[in-house]
Structure 1
Amino acid sequence: MRYSDLPIADIAYRIGYSSPSSLSKVFRQFYGISPLAYRNNKNFVIMRPAIIRPDLKLEKEVRNVPARDLIYIRLTGDYKLNDYAGTWGRLYQFVMEQELPMGECSPLCIYHDDPKVTPTDKLRTDVCMVLPCNATPKGEIGYKQLPAGRYAIFLYKGTYENLQAVYDTIYGKYLPEMECTLRDEASAERYLNNPRDTAPEDLLTEIYIPVE
């Protein structure tokens, strides 16, 4: 919100609120400040009392990323309760049935909403699989592209349970220090190893934040 030029009203509608006043009410309840006042007061930090970790060391870079072809299934609800493994299983089955080329076929998630502001039952996740070609949508399986452009990319090593703290630290510490301006696109996560055969502390997650 602070790093976007979008009007507050547009942000409210994009993250699932029926009106700007609904967003303002929830935002004030959570943080004790209105969205507009928060945007205008650069010294007011809403996440620092939560789980920002100045000691968290992330590999970081800003680079141009080409568009990537994705098949995906949209899930709505609590990010922590989604059946990611089962959903990727359905995507893999679709690839087999359609005899699509596999390529790297890496798993990726696109998160559209901020769980600190958006009601849990409205959180939207696109569970994706990267393909080396486009695909025709069928049933619950959609096709889209991860937009080409500049991304601030962070490599995190550790358990998925700490990802909320990782995001708070990225938005509350790293991005301001890097003087990045956010683009109006959703963030994404790319998973570099498999939790079925990797210890939680060794899991590798690439986080893509769209920037100007």
Structure 2
Amino acid sequence: MANAHLVEYSCRMNRVLDHIDRHLDAPLDLATLADVAHFSPFHFHRIFQAWLGETLGDYLRRRRLEVAAATLAIHPDEPVLNIALAVGFGSGEAFARAFKTRFGVTPSEWRRQTPARWQSQLDAIRERQAQNRNPDQAQRNVDQAGAGMAGHDEGSLPDTEITMNVTIQTLPPARIAYLRHIGPYGPALGQFWRGHFAPWARTHGLSGQTSYGIAYDDPSVTPADKCRYDAAVEVPADFVATGEAGIAELPGGRYAVARFKGDVRTIGDAWMTLTRDWLPSSGYQFDNKPCFERYDSAPDEDTSREDFSCDRCIPVRPL
């Protein structure tokens, strides 16, 4: 019974997190969010803090500022005030003060520093690749900084060059069932797929269906223990989610799609190269939808980490 209660709490709180992300520009008061979770307002605040490790107010402030930081970086022509209002700040001055407290620089400085910040990340990728090709260099352990959208296994990185063949595609929306992981990306995500999601998908007869990995947070901005990731699978219209599984729609539209095939431990760098190298010179910019990995079928416990394949999908619109 205790496990059943825990599953129910997780399901309700995930609904709250999803609601918050969809309504960052609105006044998200305690009573409204308690109603989304089907908890009494009297108890909801304590439940939220116990489950997520931060108060509701701290979470709302952090999410608003993290979304703003990402928007400042990927939409360089969007006025700062528009971004502030879109994430729920009442004025540019209040936003600037909160942003500098969180990131140590003003919103404009953060935006100006973006090219240098991205270039530094790309240089780190190339340095790691050079070290992996040099037997005299110590091999690198996978860590949070190198984690991308998919799970990495422990161990040294293989000698792999990252290549890209990107196409622009219009993808249909997909109805998905998902299980959520909150915590560091990297090896933990591979363990989540193998030990948690794959058995769940098999039990529900979904192992052969198209699946998705959706990372909602940038680990260079969001604390590692707060990063959110959904392992998801396409489901028919009559599929009913039970237990901790949630139902959502993955938005359709225009995406830049790049195939990845190789060792899963290199996919974080492949994502970074795609978003920090290819995208700025492509004539496209990020659209306001999540990036995701698309798999031909749900990865299972026996999926080889050296023979991993997926499509990396970035929502885009013209500059």
TM-score (norm 1): 0.77
Q: Would the aligned equivalents of 2:177 and 2:235 in 1 still touch at CA under 8 Å?
A: yes
Report which stretch shifted further, 119-128 or 82-91: 82-91
1:139 is displaced (CA, Å) by 2.3
Q: Which amino acid aligns with 2:108?
A: L
2:125 aligned residue (29, 51, 54): 51
- Which residue in 2 is equivalent to 1:84? 193
Which residue does 2:270 correspond to in 1? 166
Alignment counterpart, residue 234 of structure 2, candidates 99, 107, 130: 130
- 2:258·2:311 contact (CA, 8 Å) conserved in 1? yes
The correspondence for 1:144, drawn from 248, 252, 262, is: 248
Instruction: Work out the CA distance in 2 between the residues paired with 1:50 and 1:22.
Output: 30
Aligned-residue identity in percent: 23
Displacement after TM superposition at 1:26 (Å): 5.6
Larger relative contact order, structure 1 or 2 (CA cutoff 8 Å, min sep 6): 1
In the alignment of these two chains, the number of paired residues is: 196
Distance (Å, rounded) in 2 between the aligned partners of 1:88 and 1:195: 5
| Rg comparison, structure with higher value | 2
1:84 partner SS: helix
Q: What's the C-alpha RMSD, in Å, of the aligned pairs? A: 3.0
C-alpha displacement of 1:38:
3.3
Q: Which runs of 5+ in 2 are unaligned?
A: 1-69, 90-94, 130-160
Q: Give the drift of 1:42.
A: 6.5
| SS of residue paired to 1:151 | strand
- The answer to whether the aligner puts 1:60 opposite 2:60 as a matched pair is no
Residue pair 2:292, 2:314 contacting (<8 A) in 1 also: yes
Please give the secondary structure, in 2, of the residue aligned with 1:39.
Answer: helix
Q: Secondary structure at the match of 2:234?
A: strand
Q: Which has more helix, going by share of residues?
A: 2
| 1:71 equivalent in alignment to 2:145 | no
Paired AA for residue 7 in structure 1? I
TM-score, scaled to structure 2? 0.53
8 Å contact from structure 2 (residues 96, 107) kept in 1: no
2:313 to 202, 208, 212: 208
Shift of 1:63: 1.0
Cα distance in 1 for residues equivalent to 2:302 and 2:212:
18
Q: Cα 1:41–1:198, aligned 2, differ >3 Å: closer, same or farther?
A: closer
The secondary structure found in structure 1 opposite 2:273 is helix
- List structure 1 runs of 4+ shifted beyond 2 angstroms: 8-13, 19-28, 33-36, 40-50, 131-139, 191-202
